[in-house]
Structure 1
Amino acid sequence: MANTRRPASQRSTSQRSTRKRRADGEESRRRILDAAAEIAGERGYDGTSIGEVSARSGLPASSIYWHFANKDELIAAVIERSFERWLAAVELPGPEVGDAGERVRTMAVGLAKALLDTPDFLRLGLMLALERRPAEPTARTKFLQVRQITRERIAEAIRELTPELPESSVRALTTYAMAGADGLFIAHELDGDDTDLVALFELHARSLSDATARELDTHRSNP
């Protein structure tokens, strides 16, 4: 029986070629996502087109369609990538940081800094979330999914710091925390550098700590 196994040199060349194609594909995808994020941030969902992404990225439309079925799927991927980078900041620091208030403040500062670095998911997501369309865009669905993950992370932090609170209070405080963060982010988007997002998130953290303490006092007074 003939030996059909390729020589080691041929296998090595094939492996290098495969790795190069994979690396080239990853680089192309990154360039496409970067270009789409820039354009969507400037012009919104409707103002973004595959043609403009192609021109901005320097890649042909065929390359974009190889990675993404359509514009909607592309914008969904932009939201997901930005969210994954930001999610690492949605963690409550440990007790070594200080008391409950200091832990919340530290978490809030981390969230603000992460938003400044990776704002795409919230910027694009809020635009899409406020719109009503006959057909639900995949990108809007993706944003609502990642927003739910954020909600669960914040609720977990509140439960850890105040385990006595009833679930109704946890839900209300979580909604308050997220609504405040949304509003502060929008203020920064509108006012730019005139708005210190980090300082405002610190203020929001103190307000949230005060609101949580009041909820806890109310619960203890009316068990």
Structure 2
Amino acid sequence: MRKTRKNKREDILQATADLVCEHGFSSTSINMVCERVGVAKTAIYWHFGNRDGLMNAVIDELTHEFIAQVRSNVFLKGTPLERRDQMIAGMRDIVENQTERFRVLVIASIESAELDPHFRTACLRLTDATTQAIADGYRSTLGFDLPDMDLLGHTLIALMVEALRRKKMDPEGCNLDRLFEDFERLVDLMVRDRIRRYTKSQEEENKS
């Protein structure tokens, strides 16, 4: 059965993602992708325009998948502690239960953000979506917006990437229990500080 253009595009994306896991973004070439999929370069150009377009498409797919994972683990009801526990449990689930391919791609894409503007844009979109999901959850619990939630979102992404990296480097020796206990304490400190600052600003506003 002859494959459709949509299926061929998906095959190319899948092969590119696999090659990136094996060789990294910078070392993955169009020739390697063509050889892996069994297509001519014209197929790459038809679907993606050029190599940058192909790599951008891989990052976009990863970003959408990652954002979906984050949003599925955001608990929009319950106390702040229940929300924190659900969020941390969701982060740990991503670290422990996602495929090796997913973990490698997340690490590679974020590390590549230092070198490539599109990777930076994709990573910013990822952290923005994470921050928004967290902010929405706390707003539904507390009834008001906490200040500087973008820093909390970026911090959580950085912590999760570090957990992914440790899991990849030392699967047996990585102490995830200790690592995520530290995550909980850090989230508590950051949220409490934001609640304190919000309360103080409201008190000052009421006095004026």
Question: TM-score, with normalisation over the residues of structure 1?
Answer: 0.70
Displacement of 1:49 after TM fit? 0.2
CA distance in 2, matches of 1:25, 1:199: 47
AA aligned to 1:102 is E
Greater radius of gyration (CA): 1
Gaps of at least 5 residues in structure 2 are 204-208
State which of 131, 151, 156 in structure 2 corresponds to 1:177: 156
Range 45-54 or range 35-44, more displaced: 35-44
CA distance in 1, matches of 2:111, 2:36: 22
State which of 37, 40, 51 in structure 2 corresponds to 1:57: 37
Q: Alpha carbons of 1:196 and 1:61: their partners in 2 closer, same or farther (altered >3 Å)? A: farther
Q: In the alignment, does 2:140 pair up with 1:160?
A: yes
AA aligned to 1:186 is R
AA aligned to 2:58 is V
State which of 13, 17, 26 in structure 2 corresponds to 1:33: 13
Q: Cα deviation per residue 1:132-188 (whole Å; 9 max; x = unaligned)? A: xxxx554443343333333332333343344456423x3443333233223223323
Superposed structure 1 runs of 4+ greater than 6 Å apart:
none
Contact 1:80–1:142 (8 Å) recurs in 2:
yes
CA distance in 2, matches of 1:94, 1:156: 8
Displacement of 1:68 after TM fit? 1.0
Determine the structure 1 residue equivalent to 2:187: 208
Displacement of 1:199 after TM fit? 7.3
Q: Secondary structure at the match of 2:27?
A: coil
AA aligned to 1:44 is G
CA distance in 1, matches of 2:7, 2:128: 30
Contact 1:35–1:56 (8 Å) recurs in 2:
yes
Contact 2:59–2:109 (8 Å) recurs in 1:
yes
Q: Secondary structure at the match of 2:69?
A: coil
Determine the structure 1 residue equivalent to 2:75: 93
Contact 2:135–2:145 (8 Å) recurs in 1:
no
Contact 1:105–1:206 (8 Å) recurs in 2:
no
Displacement of 1:114 after TM fit? 3.6
Gaps of at least 5 residues in structure 1 are 1-19
Root-mean-square deviation over aligned CA pairs: 3.1
CA distance in 2, matches of 1:147, 1:81: 15
State which of 104, 119, 130 in structure 1 corresponds to 2:84: 104
CA distance in 2, matches of 1:71, 1:89: 27
CA distance in 2, matches of 1:50, 1:164: 49
Question: TM-score, with normalisation over the residues of structure 2?
Answer: 0.74
Q: Alpha carbons of 1:166 and 1:217: their partners in 2 closer, same or farther (altered >3 Å)? A: same
CA distance in 1, matches of 2:27, 2:122: 19
CA distance in 1, matches of 2:144, 2:16: 45
